[in-house]
């Protein structure tokens, strides 16, 4: 099973700042089958990034993903008020599919 | 418009059984791999199980293998999760999620239902 470790656990930032979230895998993620999801309180997760760097439909270009192998990054440029939420990475290349523990981006 | 509507959540005693359903609309159901993902209160996401579009290939997390069974009825556009031998640690909101292609592996979860609460307690 591929274990995903996200850091930091919490990120305190102000609107307009850049957020950099990390996701590290215990073994290489095949074909960069790595996605990022955003979840707000009381809501279902929403797909942001798939294939490590491709934005899902309707996702603003201030969200970008990068990385390969075992190290992946989600960057949010110029944080908007609606971006404060919890973010999860997920690998979907091998079974069982696994999620990271999440990073909460909160308002400073 | 893609819609996924979960139902069947309830309060059940430890050792009991429950079947969740997820009614799909707005897309070609048989062309999408589907998964169940759960979230315990105040915790993170845990993938539970997945099934290919044809229903011939299934996958399970170790934590539910042998107790849960995923299935689908493409004629009814409905996904199921049969949960047996339920434990307190199965208490969670259960989401059904749609893959972007017919498989499970190699496919991101592009759309999620709103979730249904399952509580296992005496």
Give tens-digit pLDDT for B56-104: 999 999 999 999 999 999 999 999 999 999 999 999 999 999 998 898 8
Q: Give the residue among A15, A22, A14 at the shortest CA–CA distance from A103.
A: A22
- If you count them, how many residues does chain A have? 108
% of chain B at pLDDT higher than 70:
100
* Min Cα separation B115/chain A (Å): 7
pLDDT over threshold 90, residue A24 = yes
Chain A contacts of B95, Cβ < 8 Å? 44-45
Q: Which of A88, A93, A98 sits opposite B105 (nearest CB)?
A: A93
Q: What three-state secondary structure class fits A69?
A: coil
The predicted-structure confidence for A49-61, as pLDDT tens digits, reads as follows 999 999 999 999 9
In DSSP terms, which residues pair with A76 in a beta bridge? A19, A63
Q: How far is CA B102 from CA A1, A88, B28, B32, B107, in A?
A: 23, 23, 10, 4, 8
Q: Are B37 and B95 in contact (CB under 8 A)?
A: yes
DSSP class of A48? E
pLDDT over threshold 90, residue A69 = yes
DSSP code string of B46-111? EEEEEE-TTS--EEE-TTTTTTEEEEEETTTTEEEEEE-S--GGG-EEEEEEEESSS-STT--EEE
Q: Give the residue among A71, A107, A102, A105 at the shortest CA–CA distance from A88.
A: A102
Chain A contacts of B106, Cβ < 8 Å? 31, 33, 92-93
């Amino acid at each position: 099973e591929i274990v995903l470790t996200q850091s930091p656990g919490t990120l305190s930032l102000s609107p307009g700042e850049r957020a950099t979230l990390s996701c590290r895998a215990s073994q290489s993620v095949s074909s960069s089958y790595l996605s990022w999801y955003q979840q707000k309180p009381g809501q279902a997760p929403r797909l942001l990034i798939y294939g490590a760097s491709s934005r899902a439909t309707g996702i603003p270009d201030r969200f970008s993903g990068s990385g390969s192998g075992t190290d992946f990054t989600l960057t949010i440029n110029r944080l908007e008020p609606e971006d404060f939420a919890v973010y999860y990475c997920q690998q979907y290349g091998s079974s069982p599919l696994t999620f990271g523990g999440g990073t909460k981006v909160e308002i400073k | 418009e893609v819609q996924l509507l979960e139902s069947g959540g309830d309060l059940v005693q430890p050792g009991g059984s429950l079947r969740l359903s997820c009614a799909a609309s707005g897309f070609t159901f048989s062309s999408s791999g589907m998964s169940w993902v759960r979230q315990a209160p105040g915790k993170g996401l845990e993938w539970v199980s997945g099934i290919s579009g044809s229903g011939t290939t299934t996958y399970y997390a170790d934590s539910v293998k042998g107790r849960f069974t995923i299935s689908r009825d493409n004629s009814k556009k409905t996904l199921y999760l049969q949960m047996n031998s339920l434990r307190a640690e199965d208490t969670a909101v259960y989401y059904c999620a749609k893959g972007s292609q017919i498989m499970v592996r190699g496919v991101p979860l592009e759309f999620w239902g709103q979730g249904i609460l399952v509580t296992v307690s005496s």
